[in-house]
């Protein structure tokens, strides 16, 4: 309510419309849970760009795809005044120190794997220059390429940047320097994971937090509109890491990456089931399958080249229409231990009308849906293949935040 200095402006009108940019209704939900030390609006508001891209991608129209690319690259001139774009997330050169991003760089043969993959999808070209996981987008129609761009931004560029931020934060925290840079990176990771429009109720949102809530329901891990268990654990790990910046956050960074892998596996599996078992010929589903496959390939390759070859042969552009859901599901499950996820984290695809798992899509390890998620769930279904004891683990349980010295935000 400060007025201009006395006598500066004669007759200055003291009344003006009330400003509301920081009203409670406009604040991102996650700030009430996580409370970032730094302004991360430029990162959180990228979900508004994702919302626009989603609305454009579903049309299967060439001009809309080009417009979606302009939103991604910032060529539309609208980045909320921050000048920061989704395409900036694909530039991970400043995140050296992330083991995961090095893994992806080594697998694809380039640090710009996300942007090159997305650009090939946009133009209907091939990623022939890649060392592995080459994708030929001439095999997808316009709807498929549009879906590949939409889901690829979230699954590759955004997912990779978040993991890069938390891993670099942990790598930098050697106890010999201040914590302001590390805290800023950690805060940005949270903002990129949740976004500005997501709510704990499950409403709103267009980033990975929302994807996890959506897939959680389909896989019997939560009720529709509930927060996914993996999201509860991820937010707990983010909070614990904030409390202990530059103290002991390597385990938090590791667990966040593992838990963030769960919705990628679920989305990939659900797309493949719909294509293979339900006979869908929708090009958009093929593009979606290709995007989540590309996001997972380096991780799956790490647990065995044979497994990644299966994903390439059954899920990349032009492959999913003749791919096998069972083979893909088995390849994923063989990697659960290496990925540090469990059968209970992932769950199984539910047929809600029959109150049982879809045929052949049951959770491994004999896991049933979460308690109270589906009343009257039928527990009988075809016998499953033997599951290693390591995959029968209980779901990840976050440790209570440990005490740590409060850190300055300066």
Per-residue pLDDT of the chain (410 residues; tens, 9 = 90+): 454 555 544 444 443 333 333 333 346 788 878 889 999 999 999 999 999 999 999 999 999 999 999 999 998 776 554 678 999 998 876 788 899 999 999 999 999 999 999 999 999 999 999 999 999 999 999 999 999 999 999 999 999 999 999 999 999 886 555 578 899 999 999 999 999 998 766 678 999 999 999 999 999 999 998 999 999 999 999 999 998 888 779 999 999 999 999 999 999 999 999 999 999 999 999 999 999 999 999 999 999 999 999 999 999 999 999 999 999 999 999 999 999 999 999 999 999 999 999 999 999 999 999 888 888 887 644 434 444 444 433 444 444 444 333 343 33
Question: Which pLDDT does position 12 carry in this prediction?
Answer: 45
**pTM for the complete prediction?**
0.86
Q: Tokens 């590949």 belong to which residue?
A: 148
Locus of tokens 């329901």 = 217
Query: In 244-282, which ranges are continuous DSSP H helix?
Result: 250-276
Helices vs strands, H then E, count in the chain = 17, 2
Q: How many CA atoms lie within 13 A of 352 on its CB side?
A: 10
CB atoms within 10 A of CB 78: 13
- The three-state DSSP-derived secondary structure of 48-96 is HHHHHHHHHHCCCCHHHHHHHHHHHHCCCCCCCCCCCCHHHHHCCHHHC
- Give the separation between CA 160 and CA 73, rounded to whole angstroms: 17
Rounded CA-CA distance 120/137 in Å is 7
Torsion of CA 151, 102, 209, 245, to 10 degrees: -160
Scanning the structure block, which residue is given the tokens 């699954």?
155
Helix (H) or strand (E) holding 290: helix 283-302
Do 319 and 312 meet the contact criterion of CB atoms below 8 Å apart? yes
**Whole-number CA gyration radius for the chain:** 22
Q: Is the torsion defined by CA of 234, 286, 79, 26 positive or negative?
A: negative
pLDDT at 33: 81
pLDDT of res. 389: 42
Burial class (CB in 10 A: 0-12, 13-18, 19+), 282: middle
Q: Which two tokens stand for residue 398?
A: 């976050």
- What pLDDT is recorded for position 95? 83
């Amino acid at each position: 309510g400060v007025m201009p200095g006395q006598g500066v402006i004669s007759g200055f009108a003291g009344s003006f419309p009330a400003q509301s940019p920081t009203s409670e209704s406009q604040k991102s939900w996650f700030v009430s849970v996580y409370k970032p030390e730094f302004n991360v609006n430029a990162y959180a508001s990228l979900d508004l760009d994702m919302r626009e891209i989603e609305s454009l991608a579903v049309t299967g129209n060439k001009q809309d795809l080009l417009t979606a690319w302009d939103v991604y690259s910032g060529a539309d001139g609208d980045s909320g005044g921050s000048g920061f774009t989704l395409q900036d997330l694909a530039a991970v050169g400043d995140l050296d120190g992330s083991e995961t991003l090095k893994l992806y760089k080594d697998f694809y043969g380039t640090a710009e794997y996300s942007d090159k993959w997305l650009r090939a999808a946009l133009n209907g070209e091939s990623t022939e220059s890649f060392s592995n996981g080459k994708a030929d987008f001439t095999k997808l129609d316009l709807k498929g390429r549009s879906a590949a761009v939409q889901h690829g931004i979230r699954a590759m560029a955004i997912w990779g940047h978040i993991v890069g931020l938390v891993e670099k934060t942990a790598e930098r925290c050697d106890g010999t320097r201040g914590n302001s840079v590390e805290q800023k990176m950690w805060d940005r990771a949270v903002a990129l994971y949740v976004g500005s429009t997501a709510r704990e109720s499950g409403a709103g949102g267009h980033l990975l937090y929302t994807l996890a809530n959506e897939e959680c329901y389909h896989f019997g891990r939560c009720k529709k509109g509930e927060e996914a268990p993996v999201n509860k654990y991820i937010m707990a790990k983010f909070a614990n890491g904030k409390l202990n910046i530059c103290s002991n956050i390597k385990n938090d960074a590791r667990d966040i990456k593992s838990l963030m892998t769960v919705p990628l596996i679920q989305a990939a599996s659900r797309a493949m089931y719909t294509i293979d078992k339900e006979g869908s010929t929708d090009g958009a589903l093929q593009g979606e399958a290709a995007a989540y496959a590309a996001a997972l390939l380096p991780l799956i390759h790490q647990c065995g080249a044979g497994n990644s070859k299966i994903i390439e042969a059954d899920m990349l552009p032009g492959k999913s229409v003749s791919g096998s859901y069972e083979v893909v599901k088995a390849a994923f499950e063989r990697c659960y231990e290496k990925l540090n996820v469990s059968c209970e984290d992932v769950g199984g695809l539910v047929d809600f009308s029959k109150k049982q798992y879809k045929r052949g899509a049951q959770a491994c390890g004999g896991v049933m849906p979460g308690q109270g998620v589906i009343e009257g769930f039928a527990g009988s279904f075809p016998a499953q293949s033997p599951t290693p004891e390591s995959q029968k683990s209980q779901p990840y349980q976050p440790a209570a935040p440990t005490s740590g010295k409060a850190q300055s935000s300066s």
